[in-house]
Amino acid sequence: MSGRRLTWPQRLALAAPYLWLAVFFAAPFAIIVRLSFSQSVLAQPPYAPQFDFGAGLADVLERVREFTVDNYALFFSDALYVQSYVSSLRIALLSTALALAIAYPMALAMSRAPARLKPALILLAIAPFWTSFLIRVYAWIAILKDEGFLNAALKGLGVIDAPLQIFATEAAVVIGIAYSYLPFMVLPIFNALDRQDRSLVEAALDLGASRASAFWTVTFPLSLPGVFAGALLVFIPAVGEFVIPDLLGGSDTLTIGRTLWNEFFANRDWPVAAAAAILLLAVLVAPLIFFERAQMRAEGRR
C-alpha cells in the first residue's frame, strides 16, 4: 500500500504532532516494555541517579538486555497479585453494570422528553464531566462514610439502626466509578435511542404487541450499539482506575492500578510496576482494539 505523497508545507505541519507523539507517547511505551523484562536489582534504590541512567543510555540498555520474566511470573504466582487482577475486572464489570442500570432509564426518559428540553437535558448530563474528577470522588467520601450523609439519612428515616459500612469497601469503589463515568454511558445510549424511528414502535403496537414487548423486541435491540459503546467507555477507564479505589476503597481493595502505583511509589520496584502496566494493557487489548476499530469506522463513514 503506497501512501499519498505530501507537499513540503504539509510535511512540516505533520512533523510537529507526529514527532511529539513519537517521543512522548510511543517511545516511553517501548521503554516500559523493555523495563518490564529487566532485573529488579536495577531499580532497587529509590530514585533516578541511583538508577544509573545518568551513566548513559548504552549502559541501561546493556542491563536491560539481561531479560527476565520474573516480574511477570510474580503476578501469576503471588496470590495478592492474582487477586488484584481479578478484583480489578470484577470492580470494572460491576461498575459498568451499575452505570448501565442508572444510565439506560435516564437516557430513555431523556429521549422521550419534549424536543425543546433535550439540549438542556444533555447539557445537564454532561456538565458534571467538566467539574473536577477528584472533587466528585471526594464528595462521595462525605456521603458514604460511617457517620456520613447516607447513614445519617437512613438512620433519620428509621431504616437502619447501625450504620452501613460502605466506605472503604468494594461497593464504595463501584458506586464511585459508576458516578464518575455516568455521562460516558448516558450519551451514547441517548444518541442511539434518540435516532430511532418512532414509527417502528408504533408499527409493533399496531400489530398487537404490548408496550413491554414492543420495548424488548424493537427499542432495546436497536439501542444496543449505544449500550455497547457506553459500556466500553466506562469499562476501559474503570479497569485502570487508581484514584477511586484508593480514595473510596479499603486497604484490601486491590486493583491493578493500585498495585502498579504501590510497586512504583512505595516499593520502588520499577520493573514490577512496568510489568503491571503491561498486564493492565493486556486486559484492555480486546476492548481497546474494538474501540479503535469503531473510531476508524466512524471516521471512514463520513
Interacting positions 235-274 with other proteins (CB under 8 A): 236-237, 239-243, 246-247, 257, 260-261, 264-265, 270, 273-274
Residues 6 or more apart whose Cβ sits within 8 Å of residue 237: 181
If binding is defined by CB under 8 A, does position 120 make contact with other proteins? no
Select from 302, 264, 298, 297 the least CA-distant residue to 280: 264
Among 18, 67, 76, 216, binds other proteins (CB under 8 A): 18
Nearer to other proteins, 90 or 112 (CB): 112
Among 45, 46, 90, 131, binds other proteins (CB under 8 A): 131
Expressed in angstroms, the distance from the first to the final Cα of the chain is: 22
Long-range contacts, 138-147 (Cβ 8 Å, 24+): 138/247, 140/172, 140/175, 140/176, 140/179, 140/248, 141/167, 141/247, 141/248, 144/172, 144/175, 144/248
Q: With CB under 8 A as the contact rule, which of the stretches 76-84, 140-148, 155-163, 212-220 interacts with other proteins?
A: 140-148
Q: How many of the chain's residues bind other proteins (CB under 8 A)?
A: 96
Nearer to other proteins, 150 or 192 (CB): 150
Q: How far apart are CA 285 and CA 46, in angstroms?
A: 31
Residues 6 or more apart whose Cβ sits within 8 Å of residue 257: 88, 239, 240, 241, 242, 245, 280
Q: Which three cell numbers stand for residue 85?
A: 487482577
Interacting positions 37-76 with other proteins (CB under 8 A): 48, 51, 53-54, 57, 60
Interacting positions 273-302 with other proteins (CB under 8 A): 273-274, 277, 280-281, 284, 288, 291-292, 295-296, 299, 302
If binding is defined by CB under 8 A, does position 26 make contact with other proteins? yes
If binding is defined by CB under 8 A, does position 132 make contact with other proteins? yes
Nearer to other proteins, 86 or 113 (CB): 113
